Structures are given as structure tokens and as C-alpha cells.
Structure 1
Amino acid sequence: MLEVDNLHVSYGAIKALHGVSLKVPQGSIVTLIGANGAGKSTTLRALSGLVKAASGSIRYAGEEITNLPAHKIVSRSLCHVPEGRMVFANLTVKENLAMGAYLQRDKAWIAKQTDYVFRLFPRLKERENQAAGTMSGGEQQMLAIGRALLSNPKFLMLDEPSLGIAPLLVKSIFERIVEINREQGLTILLVEQNANLALDVSSYGYVLETGKILLEGPSAELKANPKVQEAYLGA
């Protein structure tokens, strides 16, 4: 569904990505793991049109989308849940979800999908009229994922969903990510520092180090790899 070939990204004179290539099959969960500053978030930002690729190719559902504006990429059902959640702090939960649906015109679908999000994350239903900025980090992460689901995505990119969240809620959020993949058939590209969790829920993984793909393979094989264990799994 997504094919990235030899992607290079620079911030001014600083090269952030050095020829990243990866594939994400339709219906799968693929993870991108690596240390802070490895280029994981930059990869997602390039895929969603938030930063420009210096060179290389990004193909989504057979179409070249390299350097398309972000709003045009979203309209192709590719959605990015950014690091730090980025909820609209002064808007209520319900208003945040409505913002996610700004490209949708089918009111019946919007109502049905909102109900689905509330079933997926009951805590959001309890707080539907609460300002998003007053909620915990975990609740805001649920809201950021829920808002993305209101855009009717076929491909979901999640950037560090466990960041700054209580361990109990992290487990719950990852269970919901697997549920979304199974129930809605969403293809998911997951960027995550918690490599153990990421490799548990994904079928295939890439290890990114200083802007380059260092290793790739089935998640179970990466989890058993001594180098990965030493560097990322605390073994």
C-alpha cells in the first residue's frame, strides 16, 4: 500500500534521512523503531507532506505522492497522528472529533464513526463535553487517534503513541490499535520508542539509525536479534 524508495530529507544543511526505503503491505501493522534522533518522526512527516523530500520516491496505493501538499495527502485517506498528540486544547472532545471529519460529507457516517470511537475509547464518551487540554496525556492520545479515525483513513501513521503516558493506559491504547487494524482493516505504520510493544503488535519492522535503515525483518525475528535486544529491548 505504501512504498518508499531511497528517501532523502534535509533540514537546511543537516541531512536527516539518508536513502530510507520501506514497504507497508495493505492491512498490516509495520513498525519503525530506533533511538531518539534516528529520523523516525522525520520519515512520517515526509510521508504526510509536512516536510519536503530532497530526493527519492513515495508511492501510496500505486500513486506517486512525493511532496504533495499535506491536505491533498489527507484527502487520499492517509492520516498522521503526530508525536505530542496535538489536540485542540480549547475545544471539547466532541469538537476535536468533528475537526477530524472536516473532509467528510456523509453525516450518517460521521455519527456512526463517532459512536465507534466512543465504543473504542469509552473514556472519551464520558468526557465528550470536556475541554481536551484539561485531560490526561493518555486521554489526549485516545482523542488524537479517534480524531484521525473520523477522517475515514485507509492508512494510519502513529508517531510515538506511548510517549508520556501511564503504563496501564499504554497497554490499553496498544490493544485498541490492534483492534482498529482488525475491525476497520486499517493499514498502520507505527513509530515507537517502546520497541518491545511495537514489535509485539506488528508483523514486520524496520530499525532506523541516524537516518538509515540498519535492519529489517519479521517482527519476531527482530525481537530475537541480539543486536536489537541489546540496543532497544534492554536485554
Structure 2
Amino acid sequence: MLEVSDLHVSYGAISALNGISFAIKPGSIVTLIGGNGAGKTTTLRTISGLLRPQSGLITFLGEDISTLPAHEIVARGLCHVPEGRMIFSNLTVNENLAMGAFLEQDPAVKARNRDYVFSIFPRLNERLHQTAGTLSGGEQQMLAIGRALMGSPKFLMLDEPSLGIAPRLISTIFEKIVEINRHHGITILLVEQNANLALEISTYAYVLETGRIAMEGESGRLRADPQLKAAYLGG
């Protein structure tokens, strides 16, 4: 569904990605794990068109999207929930959700997507007219994911969904991520600081180190890998 081939990205003179390649099959949950500065967020931002690669190829559903602007990538069904949520804090929950549907012209599809979002995150319906900036961290994360779902995504990229969320809500968020994948067929690329949790819900994983893929494999096998446990899983 998504293929990244020999991707190189730099910030000025600083190299961030050094020729990474990976592929993601439809219907899967794939996770990128690695330390701070490994290139995880840069990978997602480049795929979603927020950064331009120096070289390499990104194909989505067989189409080269490497040079497309971000809004055209969203229109093709690839949506990005950024690190830090990036909700519109001065707008209401309802207005934030409407922003997620800005490319959708069909009112029936918008209404169906809203119902879908509320079925996954009923709390958003309860907070519909509340200013988004007054929500808890967990509720803001629900809103950020809900806003992306309003765009009818086929493929969802999530960057650090557990960041800044109360521990009791983290498991809820991850249960919902699995539900979105399993019951609604949306393919997911997950970047997550909690490597144990990311490996628990994903099917396949890539480990990034200083802009390169250092290891890859089925998530269950990587969870049991002594080297990986020592480096990322507190083992």
C-alpha cells in the first residue's frame, strides 16, 4: 500500500534520513521505533508532504507521491496525526472535526464520518461545543485522531499518540487504534515512544537509528530480541 525507497532527507547540512526503505501492506499496523533524533517524525512528515526528500521515492497505492503537496496526499486517503496533536485549540471540538473534513464535499459522507468518529470516541460528542484547548490531553488526542478520520483515510499515520496523556487513558487510546484498524480496515503506521506498547499492537516493526533502519521484523519476534529489549524495552 505504501512503499518508501532509498529516502534521503536533510535539514540544511544535517542529514536526518540516510536511504531508508520499507513497505507496508494493506490492513496492517506497522510501527517505527527508535530513540530521539532517529528520524521517526521526519519519516512521517516526509511521507505526508510536509518535508521534501532530497532523493528517493514514496509510492502510495502505486502512485508516486514524493513531490505532491500535503493537501493532495490527504485527498488520496493518507492522513497524518502529528506529534503534539496540533489541534486548533481556540476552536470547538465540532469546528476541529469540520476542519478534518474540508476536502469532503458530500454532506452524507461528512455525517457518516462524524457518526463513525463518535462511535469510536463518544466523549467527543459529549464535548462537541467545548473549546478544544480546554480538553484533557487524552481528549485532545482523541480529537486529533477523530479529525483525521473525518477525511475518510485509507491509511493513517500516528506520531506519538501516548505523549502527554494520563497513563489510565493510554490503554484506551491504543485499544481504539486497534479498533480503527481491525473493524474499519484502515492501515496504520505508528510512531510511539512506548516501544513495548507499539510492538504489542503492531504486526511488523522497523527500528530506526540515526536515520537508518537498523533492524526489522515481525513485532512479536522483535519484542523477544535481547538486543532490542536492552535498548528500548527496559530489559
Structures share fold, TM-score greater than 0.5: yes
SS in 1 for 2:217: strand
TM-score by length of 1: 0.99
Residues 47-126 of structure 1 mapped to structure 2, 5 A cutoff: 47-126=47-126
Identical-residue share of aligned pairs (%): 68
Structure 1 runs of 4+ with >3 Å offset: none
Residues matched between the structures, number: 235
Q: Whole-Å Cα distance in 1 between the matches of residues 137 and 178 of structure 2?
A: 20
Are residues 1:138 and 2:138 paired? Answer: yes
SS in 1 for 2:3: strand
1:205 aligns with 205
Counterpart residue identity of residue 87, structure 1: I
Q: Whole-Å Cα distance in 1 between the matches of residues 185 and 215 of structure 2?
A: 27
Unaligned runs of 5+ in 2: none
Counterpart residue identity of residue 103, structure 2: L
Counterpart residue identity of residue 155, structure 1: F
Tell me the alpha carbon deviations over residues 62-111 of structure 1, each in whole angstroms, 9 at most, x when there is no partner. Answer: 01111211111111110000000000011110110011001111111211
Q: Whole-Å Cα distance in 2 between the matches of residues 164 and 37 of structure 1?
A: 19
SS in 1 for 2:27: coil
2:190 aligns with 190
Counterpart residue identity of residue 113, structure 2: Q
The offset of 1:234, in angstroms, is 0.4
SS in 1 for 2:88: coil
Q: Whole-Å Cα distance in 2 between the matches of residues 190 and 148 of structure 1?
A: 14
Task: Please tell me the root mean square deviation across aligned C-alpha atoms, in Å.
Answer: 0.7
1:214 aligns with 214
Counterpart residue identity of residue 141, structure 2: Q
The offset of 1:122, in angstroms, is 1.5
